[in-house]
């Protein structure tokens, strides 16, 4: 009798999972062609880059050649980024390195050699900018969360590059070649955020998205956010 019960329960579970899988597939069929393209690009830019995010306030310290004009431009750009977050995330400027968790250095490449030797070596022949982040495993919630970052930008560059490197710190990878001409996350960043860039940030920093989740774990969430028009472009 016990064996029969176990068999029946196993069949019920398999049947339930199959129905759920079919339901998710049917839901994905309702996406427009543009939305389907977005899902592919989201997987490329975010999920294939580990799908990691912050869950605490980013405190950014500006270091190096920081003029009043540059700081004002950074503040305006951060205000734009902050509009993308719906899970309580926020980026603010702080006055000292000690209170920061993201350190930005604006200056020539030569000054990075002593400050961050590992980044200097990773930069290679580039003389533009670089962004990196580190993460830890939050065992209480079972998530991998970004908790610190470093950004170098050459002093002769402007806000598109700053946005690009900060995008890396926030968890974005490079855009695909198909969208490289319009995306801030292209290796040669566009001058402003594309509608896809904005939607990606809004989804990554949505309360329903778990940091470090696989594409299979979040695909249905992304699909529902698009179909409900909560996230649109």
Give CA–CA dist 202/193, Å, rounded: 12
Residue 95's contacts (CB-CB under 8 Å, 6 or more residues apart) are 61
CA torsion angle 184 189 190 193 (round to 10): 10
Q: What is the pTM of this model?
A: 0.88
Is pLDDT above 50 for 170? Answer: yes
Pairing of β 143-153 and β 129-138: antiparallel
- 113-134 tens-digit pLDDT: 999 999 999 998 888 999 999 9
List the CATH code of the domain at 47-227: 3.40.390.10
**What residue spans define the domains of the chain?**
47-227
pLDDT tens profile 69-90: 999 999 999 999 999 999 999 9
Phi/psi-derived region of residue 116, left when phi > 0, alpha when psi is between -120 and 50, beta in every other case: beta
Query: β-strands 58-64, 53-54: how paired?
Result: unpaired
| pLDDT interval class at 8 (50, 70, 90) | very low
Q: Are 145 and 53 in contact (CB under 8 A)?
A: yes
Q: Higher confidence at residue 12 or residue 215?
A: 215
């Amino acid at each position: 009798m016990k064996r029969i019960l176990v068999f029946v329960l196993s069949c019920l579970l398999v049947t339930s999972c199959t129905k759920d899988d079919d339901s998710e597939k049917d839901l994905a069929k309702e996406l427009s062609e543009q939305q389907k393209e977005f899902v592919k690009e989201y997987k490329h830019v975010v999920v294939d880059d580990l799908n990691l995010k912050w869950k605490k306030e980013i405190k950014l310290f500006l270091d190096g050649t920081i003029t009043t004009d540059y700081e004002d431009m950074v503040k305006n750009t951060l205000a734009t980024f902050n509009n993308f977050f719906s899970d309580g995330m926020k980026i603010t400027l702080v006055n000292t390195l000690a209170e920061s968790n993201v350190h930005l250095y604006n200056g020539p490449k030569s000054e990075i050699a002593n400050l961050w030797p590992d980044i200097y070596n990773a930069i290679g022949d580039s003389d533009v900018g670089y962004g990196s982040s580190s993460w830890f495993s939050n065992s209480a919630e079972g998530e991998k969360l970004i908790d610190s970052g470093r950004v170098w930008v050459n002093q002769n560059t402007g806000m598109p590059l700053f946005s690009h490197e900060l995008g890396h710190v926030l968890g974005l990878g490079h855009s695909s070649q198909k969208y490289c001409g319009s995306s801030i996350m292209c290796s040669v960043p566009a001058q402003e955020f594309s509608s896809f860039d904005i939607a990606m940030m809004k989804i990554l920093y949505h309360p329903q998205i778990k940091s470090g989740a696989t594409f299979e774990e979040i695909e249905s969430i992304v699909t529902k956010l698009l179909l409900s028009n909560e996230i649109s472009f």
